[in-house]
Amino acid sequence: TQLLEQSPQFLSIQEGENLTVYCNSSSVFSSLQWYRQEPGEGPVLLVTVVTGGEVKKLKRLTFQFGDARKDSSLHITAAQPGDTGLYLCAGARNSGYALNFGKGTSLLVTP
Amino acid sequence: DAGVTQSPTHLIKTRGQQVTLRCSPISGHKSVSWYQQVLGQGPQFIFQYYEKEERGRGNFPDRFSARQFPNYSSELNVNALLLGDSALYLCASSFIPGENTEAFFGQGTRLTVV
């Protein structure tokens, strides 16, 4: 059972455009993490959000945790080819030991 | 600083064989988790170990087993391999287990079963 639904599944944009990736669930999460993964590599942690309504910025990336802690979004401003990759959201529930991942959003930024 | 290291990076096995994958966590981290990532999917939780004890198990058959050693490194064993076991196996390291603890992943072991 996929607890986290990510959309869109695929996104192809040109350099300089803005984009938003969504991560939605009907379940409440204690925290939510965003990762970026390149082909053949492990996921690299970008950010962890813990508090409902929390907004975190990482250079051109803005992450938001929903007020009810059931959803999150990732917004990229002025995308660059180096942003290309698979973006994964992962939620931790009160049980603590497992991360529940979405299927990911595959982003391609062309020059 | 060394991150999470996994070995081997690539592996080809035939159906019915057994395989052992290895993981060394970040220095100071005491918890190791294993995930399976099939092509086109997000990682799926297999096991978590903390202080050499199993703390959680995902929905995987008994052919999958793991253990953690006193130095906090870990091994994942898969017996009687099936074609469907072909995947990227990821090890994640964290200081302690917990819902707000950040997990750091290794580069993975790509297992191909033929």
Query: Rg of chain B over CA atoms, in angstroms?
Result: 13
With a cut of 70, say whether residue B6 has pLDDT above it.
yes
Quick one: average pLDDT of B45-65? 93
Residue of B43, B104, B108 lying closest to A101 (CB–CB): B43
Residues A79, A11: Cα–Cα separation, whole Å: 12
CA closest to A37 among chain B residues: B107
pLDDT tens-place string over residues A47-80: 999 999 999 999 999 999 999 999 999 999 999 9
- Residues A34-46: what's their mean pLDDT? 93
The answer to whether A98 faces chain B, any CB pair under 8 Å, is yes
- B103: confidence class by pLDDT, cuts 50, 70, 90: confident
Instruction: Tell whether the model's pLDDT for residue A96 goes beyond 70.
Output: no
Q: Å from A32 to nearest chain B CA?
A: 8
Give the per-residue pLDDT at B1. 60
Best of B99, B105, B109 to disrupt the A interface by mutation (most A CBs within 10 Å)? B99
Q: A20 to chain B nearest CA, in Å?
A: 19
**Model confidence band, residue B63 (pLDDT cutoffs 50, 70, 90):** very high
Tell me, what's the pLDDT at A1?
59
Say if residue A33's pLDDT is above 90: yes
**Which residues of B, range 65-104, sit inside 8 Å of A by Cβ?**
88, 90, 92, 97-104
Coil, helix or strand at residue A22:
strand
Among B4, B42, B100, the residue with its CB nearest the CB of A101 is B42
- Checking if the pLDDT of A2 tops 90, the result is no
pLDDT band at B100 (very low <50, low <70, confident <90, very high): low
Cβ partners under 8 Å of residue A22, min gap 6: A6, A7, A71, A72, A73
What token pair was written down for B25? 């966590």
Sequence-distant (6+) residues with CB within 8 A of A32 are: A23, A48, A49, A65, A69, A72, A89, A90, A91, A92
DSSP code for B84:
G
Q: Are B59 and B35 in contact (CB under 8 A)?
A: no
Distance CA A3, CA A57 (A): 25
Residue appearing with tokens 């996104």: A11
pLDDT tens, residue by residue, A21-32: 999 999 999 889
Which of A42, A93, A102 is the closest to B105 by Cβ?
Answer: A42
